[in-house]
Amino acid sequence: MKNNKKRGYFTAAVLVCLIAFTSCKVTSQEPAKKDIVISKDLKWSDKMALTLMKRHPEAYMIDDSKAPKWDYVHGLVLHSIEELYKVNPDPRYPVYVKGYVDALVQNDGTIKTYELDKYNIDMVVSGRLLFNIYDKTKEEKYLKAMQLLRKQIAEQPRTKSGGFWHKNIYPNQMWLDGLYMGEPFYAQYTATFEEGKSLDDVAKQFEQIQLHATDPKTGLLYHGWDESKAMPWADKETGNSPNFWSRALGWYAMALVDALDYFPKDHPKQKELVKYLNDVSASLAKFQDKSGLWYQVTDKVGKKGNYLEASGSSMFAYAFAKGANKGYLPAKYKKLANKAFDGLTTKLMKVDADGGITLTQACQVAGLGGTPYRDGSYDYYVNEKKKDNDPKATGPFILAALELNR
């Protein structure tokens, strides 16, 4: 009799785990991650998600991390898997996402490895994972973690004109990357918990980077802007960095389409953000290669050392497709997105022996300043390391596949 009770308890516990999306250890009846089967008939979004789950059995292992850390790349990839779950409710997906969050969010709402006083805007974006989990579980620790990240935004150092510094160690600087790292979370938080009272401030971040970092000739935006013009990489007149980096522009375009989710159509700033999206999209379309892809240094098409790059191309495919699907962009951008996706899957994709997929030609990392010093030159961008299945490419690839239903 005792044994029957135990068995009943075990089965119930498994059910509770799956229903509540907990990372409960009693789910040992689930097949091990190494037994994930990746069928050739799956959609690209599922193929990529399952490839990552097979290669990285725990979500914190994404990007080859050895221990759990609160990081933007995990936020990006796991957000794409959350979006995938809405289309294909495979129960493995939310369990994988929640496993990452629960490895880091403590019972008091503090977040392991996160340091508020660094005011690193990169650390805000993973907070997007908390909304859905809090909504499902109503556990206060997730709300407190969101409030902690909201506190960072409230205290984030700003330029004189009101734009968020990228990090405490990069004073007076706005980078395009930072718009994606901060604004979608900020917009969702203020729309969810504050009746949208800070949406004007969200829009202000885009206004500032648009005003200062846009090149009047190409319409593209430079990777970084230094209000003080003190950095050696900064132009002495404009404060801008010297080159256009496709991934930075990709972060910016994705930030616009994702932040716009939380702007009501009648909000005074909504049309302004839609205009920014149209402007940058029109500029980017001019530099799309015949392969459908974009080069690492966006405007230096075919220049020696430049290469067709996976992360920027995936980000543009996603932003164009979502922009067209939402009615922000003309329908032709959906065609351009499909062309980009064809380029990704035919030119840069390898199929592995186990059915998993590998997206090649992704720049691993690039930045400005710091130690060792990064000068933002053409040679700097084209010589940064590449990494197969880099999360800055795989997350946007999943999102693009979903928007294109591919």
In sequence order, the β-bridge partners of residue 386 are 363
Distance CA 361, CA 313 (A): 11
Q: Are 64 and 387 in contact (CB under 8 A)?
A: no
Residues 324-354: b if buried by 16+ CB within 10 A, e if exposed: bbeebbeeebbebbbbbbbbbbebbbeeeee
Distance CA 167, CA 255 (A): 18
Pairing state of beta strands 224-226 and 357-359? unpaired
Q: Are 310 and 390 in contact (CB under 8 A)?
A: yes
Alpha helices in 216-348, H assignment, sequence order: 246-259, 270-285, 310-325, 332-347
Whose tokens are 């059995």? That residue is 57
- Orientation angle between helical segments 140-155 and 176-193, nearest 10 degrees: 130
**Residue from 276, 300, 283, 324 nearest 380 by CA:** 300
Cα distances from 347 to residues 119, 153, 292, 341, in angstroms, run 39, 40, 10, 10
Residues recognised as catalytic: 177
Q: Are 403 and 53 in contact (CB under 8 A)?
A: no
